Structure 1
C-alpha cells in the first residue's frame, strides 16, 4: 500500500502553497486523479514519483515506481529488451497492445497512438510496484483507447491514473481522488459513482445551509426582541422615568432588585447571545460546505436563419500524394453540429483543412494562413496544438484588447474556471488552460462557423462537461473532430466516420 500525507505542497521555486491537506491511501488497483487544469495533478504525480521535493509531509510504502509522463519519446533500449523477451507475460502484453518488431524498424515514423501503446507496453513489461500514468489516452483514437484499457486492467500493482477520459475512469478505477480549491478528497468507486456521490453531497450541503439559515434568522429575530426587553428592563431599574414623588413605584423597584426579578430579561439576553454565536458558526460552516454552482457559458442566440445552407459536399475521393480519403456526403447548415471520428492517420485533420478551404471560398474570403485564424470573423478554426509563435500572437491580442472588451473576455474565461488573464498568467499556462483560452477567444469573436480539431485534448473533466453543455445549446455551425465518443454523442447532431 502507498500512503501519502502532504501538509503543504509548494509551487516550484517558491514558498507559495499549491495544495494542502493531501491525504490518501492507494492499494493495488487503479486510483483516478481528477481536477481542474492547473490544480496540481501533474505536480502531485511527480511528487509521488520522487521527482519533486518541495513539500512538507510524507510518502510511504513503495520506494520504486514507473512514471509515464505526457511525452511521446521512447527509450529504445527498453523497447528492444521488451521485444526480445520471450516470456509469457511479455507475449501477452505485446499481443494485447498490438506491438511487434515492425514498430522498432519504423521507430522514427510511428504515430502518436503507436508510441503511446509502446510506452504503456514497456511500463507493464517492467511491472513496477507503482505505475503512474499522466493522460495516457490523450490524442488516441478509439482503437488504441480500447486495447490500452484492456491491457491496463491486468496490472496488479498500485496504479495512479491522471485522466479526463471518462470511459477509461469508469472502466479502470476503484476510487477517485479529486483536487479542487487547493486540497483533495477521496471518493470510492469509478467516475460515474463519483458523480452520484458528489451530487448527493451538493443536495445535502444545500439542505444543511437552508436549515442553518432558517435557524439563524429565527434566533436573530428572537435576539432583537429580547434585546428590546432587556433595554426596557434596564430603564425600569434605573428609575429614570419615575416621578420624583412616586414613592410607591420606587418601593416596588427596590423589591424587584432584592428579589432579582429585574435581571431576568438580561440573563435571557445573555443566553441568547451564546445561542446566536453558535448559530452563526453553524451558518458559516454550512456556507463553507456549499458547492460552487456549475457554470457553463450560455451563448447568445443569433437571429440568422437557422437552417441556412452553408456547404454541400457530394460523396467523393480526396486524392492526395500521401493518402486517399473517402469523403461521405456532407451538408452543413448555419446550425449544424457535425462530428467526425476515425482512426489515427485516417485523414480527419486533412478533411478539416479541406472543409475549411471550402467554407472560406463560400464566404469569399482570401485564403488565410494559420497566423490569420484569430482575425477571421466568419470562421474560427482551432487546431490541435498551438506553437510558440501562435501563443505569443494570442497573448498580444488579448493584452491589447480595449478595457471594456477585455472585461467581456475575462467574464467568458471565468466560465472555464480561470482567473482574469494578464501577461504573467499567460506565460504560465498549462496545455489545458491554453485550450480554454482558445475557446474563450472564439466565443469573443462570435464566428458563424466553428471548426475544432480534438478540442477535448488536455481539458479537465469539469471544463469538458461545461463545453458539452455549451455546444449542445449552440445555434451556430460546428464541425468537430474528436476521439471522445461521449463528447460527440452529447454535442453533435450527426457523426460521420472516416476510414
Structure 2
C-alpha cells in the first residue's frame, strides 16, 4: 500500500465533510476521484500532502514514497521555464554535481584511484535514473503540453494558465510514485489532453485524478472512488462503467429498502395484533405479550437500510428564446486581428444561421476566445466586419463570468440587478441553482468558479436570450451540473456558439464543428468526434502539399526557360485540386451510402491523378 487514509474525520468551515472515511492507493493503480463540488475531493489530496490535517483518524504514506501534487499556481520562481522544469530532476542534479567534483579530484594523483571508483558508481546510478535523457524528457513533455515555445521565457512572464501547465509538466518530469492530479485538463487544449491521456496510460506509477472531464476519465482510469455524502464507494472500471454500475446499485439498494420497509410494516402490524389479542383474552395472555415483545426486540435489532437517493438535487436550468432572430445570426467577413506583431485572426469567415449549434475548437492561443470577444463587441477587429442579425439577444458566458464585477457585491444583489424580482422571489430562484438560505448573501469575490457559473446561468435563464455564446462553460461545473447544462442547451430553441475542450460536451451539444487554425475557420457539418477525423485528413493533405512545394523550390539561378513548360501542369494541378475540393464538399452533403461510395471512388481517382501531376511537375523542374 502506498497511501492509506484510515477513519478520517474532517471539519471545514464549521461543516462536517466526512467522518470515518477510508481511502487507499496501491502501486500502479489508476483511480478517478469523483463527487460534487464541495464534497471534499481536493481536501483528500491536501490531507495526503499534509497541507491539511485531519480532525481525527490517520494518514499513512509508505516510507520513501514520492507524491507529486500541484496544490496551487507556482509563484516566486526565478529563471526561465526550462530552469523550472529542470529543477524537477533535483536528485539527478545532485549526482551530477558530485560527478563534476570527482572529475576535478581525478586530476590529483593522490585522489585519482578513489575518485575513479566513486565516479563509476555515481555514473551507473546517473544512467539508471535517466540522467543523460534529461533534455529529451523536458522536450517531450514540453511539446506534449505546448510549452516548447516558452521554454526560454522568464517564468514570471507566464499567464496563470501557462504557470499551471508548467507546474504540471514539472510534476510529470519528477515521475513520482503517486501522481495526484486535480482538474489537470482545465488549462489544456484538446491536443494536449490527448497527449496527457497517452502519458498516463503508459505511466508506471500510481495516478489519482480529480476531474469533471468524463471522456478523460474514460481514457485514463481503471477504478472510480465516488465521494458521496462523506463516504467513498468503490467501482471497478472507467467512468462510463461506473455510471452504469452506480445506477444498478442504486436500483438494487432501493429495491432492498422497499422490501425491508414492507417487512417492517408487517412486523409492526403483527406486534399490534398480538398486543390486542393478548389484552382481549380473559385473563390477558402472557404468552401473546411475550411473542409481541420478542418481535419488538427483533425489530430493534434489525439493521435499518437508509433510503437511497435516486434523484439527487440538481440546479433547475432551462433556456427559452421568446423572440426569434432572423435567418442570419452572425456574419463575419474577412476578419483580422493582431496583438502587436502577432497575427491571431487572418481573414476569418463565418456565417451562423438560426438554431445552428456550432463548436469552435483549436489550440490554446489560436484566437478562439478573441473571436468571441469580437462578436460581443468587447474588442474590435483590425479589419473585416462582424454583423449580428435582426433581434439578436446575446447571452455570453466567459471562462471567468464575474471577473469584472464588484467583488464586495452580494450574490442576491447581483442577481436582482440583472433580473427584476423581489428579494423573496430571488431567493426562490437561486435555491433552484443550489444556493440555499444565507448562501445568497455571500459576496461575489468569495464564490468558487462553479458557483460563479451557476449564478450567471441563473441570470441567463430569466433573460430573453436567443443566442448563447459559451467560452469553456464546463471548466468549473461538476458532472451533475454539466449534465443539466447539456439538457438545457438541447432544449434551447435559439442559436448556440461555443468554445470547449470537453469532448463529451462537444459531442453532446453541437451538431457542427469548426477548427480555428492559423487564423481561419475550417467548418464541418458534423459532431466533434467525426469532424476531427475529417480535419486530420485535411491537415495531412495540407502538409503533403506543402512538402511537395518545398521539394520543388530551387534557387532562382537554376531556373531555366524550359520551366515555362510547367505552366500547363500547374494549371492541371490547380484544376484537379478544385475538383477534389468539390468532391469533398459533395461528400459532406451525401445522404446515402451508395452516393458516398461513388464519391469516394471519384476522390481516390482524382487524388491518384493529382499525385501523378505533382510527380511530373517535380520531374520537369529537376531537368
Q: Distance in 1 between matches of 2:387 and 2:331?
A: 14
Is 1:65 aligned to residue 51 of structure 2?
no
1:451 partner SS: strand
User: Number of paired residues?
Assistant: 452
Preserved contact between residue 2 and residue 158 of structure 1 (Cα < 8 Å): no
Residue 3 of structure 2 contacts residue 61 of structure 2 at CA under 8 Å; is this kept in 1?
yes
Listed one character per residue, the Cα deviations across residues 414-455 of structure 1 (whole Å, up to 9, x for unaligned) are 3xx877633247664322222222222322335333221111
Residues of 1 paired with 2:56 and 2:262: CA distance?
41
- CA distance in structure 1 between the aligned counterparts of 2:148 and 2:356, rounded to whole angstroms: 45
User: Contact between 2:320 and 2:465, CA under 8 Å: does it hold in 1?
Assistant: no
Q: CA deviation at 1:70?
A: 4.6
Q: Distance in 2 between matches of 1:127 and 1:495?
A: 36
Are positions 1:387 and 2:397 aligned together? no
Matched, 1:87 2:132: yes
Matching of residue 159 in structure 1 with residue 207 in structure 2: yes
The offset of 1:480, in angstroms, is 1.7
User: Is the Cα contact below 8 Å between 2:4 and 2:60 reproduced in 1?
Assistant: yes
Paired residues of 2:334 and 2:347 also in contact (CA < 8 A)? yes
1:271-318 CA distance string (max 9 Å, x none): 44345545xx55x5242x44443646352756655x853514266443
Classify 1:326/1:161 alpha carbon distance in 2 versus 1 (closer, same or farther; 3 Å). Answer: farther
Cα distance between partner residues in 2 of 1:22 and 1:425? 32
Counterpart secondary structure, 2:477: coil
2:372 corresponding residue in structure 1: 352
What's the secondary structure of 1:299's corresponding residue? coil
Which moves more between the two structures, 83-92 or 265-274?
83-92
Residue number among 504, 525, 535 corresponding to 1:486 in the alignment? 504
Query: Match for 1:171 among 212, 219, 223?
Result: 219
The structure-2 alpha-carbon separation of the partners of 1:296 and 1:422, relative to structure 1 and needing over 3 Å to count, comes to: closer
Query: Is 1:467 aligned to 2:485, yes or no?
Result: yes
SS in 2 for 1:346: coil
The alpha carbon displacement at 1:73 in A equals 4.9
In structure 2, how many angstroms separate the alpha carbons of the residues matched to 1:388 and 1:351? Answer: 19
Give the match for residue 515 of structure 2: 497
| Aligned alpha-carbon RMSD (Å) | 3.5
Q: Name the counterpart of 1:341.
A: 361
Corresponding position of 1:215: 263
Q: TM-score with structure 2 length normalisation?
A: 0.64
The whole-number CA distance in structure 2 between the counterparts of 1:286 and 1:82 is: 48
Q: Are the counterparts in 2 of residues 18 and 182 from structure 1 also a CA contact under 8 Å?
A: yes
Say whether residues 1:441 and 2:459 are aligned partners: yes
Q: Which moved more, 1:221-230 or 1:59-68?
A: 221-230
Q: Tell me the distance in 2 between the aligned counterparts of 1:143 and 1:111.
A: 20
Contact 2:317 2:484 in 1 (8 A): no
Number of the residue aligned with 1:21:
20
With over 3 angstroms needed to count, the CA separation of the structure-2 counterparts of 1:176 and 1:73, relative to structure 1, is farther
Instruction: Identify the residue that residue 180 of structure 1 maps to in structure 2.
Output: 228
Q: 1:266 aligns with which of 284, 289, 299?
A: 289
Q: What secondary structure sits across from 1:7 in the alignment?
A: strand
Cα distance in 1, alignment partners of residues 351 and 160 from structure 2: 28
Could you tell which deviates more after superposition, 159-168 or 135-144? 159-168
Query: Matched residues in 2 for 1:381 and 1:394: separation?
Result: 21
Change (3 A) 1:110 1:426: closer
1:368-422 alpha-carbon deviations (Å, 9 max, x no partner): xxxxxxxxxx3221111132635445633247762332133223213xx877633
User: Does the C-alpha gap of structure 1 residues 441 and 70 become closer, same or farther in structure 2, counting only changes over 3 Å?
Assistant: farther
Does the Cα contact within 8 Å between 1:208 and 1:286 map onto a contact in 2? no
Task: Identify the match of residue 397 of structure 1 among 414, 426, 446.
Answer: 414
Contact 1:311 1:359 in 2 (8 A): no
Distance apart, 1:204 and its partner CA: 0.9
Q: Who is 1:121 aligned against? A: 169
- Return 353-362 or 187-196, whichever deviates more: 353-362
Check conservation: 1:31, 1:159, Cα contact below 8 A.
yes
CA contact (8 A) 2:336 2:347 kept: yes
Structure 2 counterpart SS, 1:413: coil
* 2:116 counterpart residue number: none
- In structure 2, what is the equivalent of residue 368 of structure 1? none
- Structure 1, residues 457-490: CA drift from partner, whole Å, max 9, x if none? 1222222223222322222332221111210111
In structure 2, how many angstroms separate the alpha carbons of the residues matched to 1:341 and 1:166?
Answer: 18
Would the alpha carbon gap of residues 74 and 178 (structure 1) be closer, same or farther in structure 2, given more than 3 Å must change? farther
For 1:322-333, list aligned pairs within 5 A.
322-333=343-354
| 2:222/2:237 contact within 8 Å kept | yes
Q: RCO greater where, 1 or 2, for CA within 8 Å and sep 6 or more?
A: 1
Counterpart of 1:252 in structure 2 is none
Query: CA, structure 1 residues 338+418, in 2 after alignment: closer, same or farther (shift >3 Å)?
Result: farther
- Residue in 2 aligned with 1:293? 312
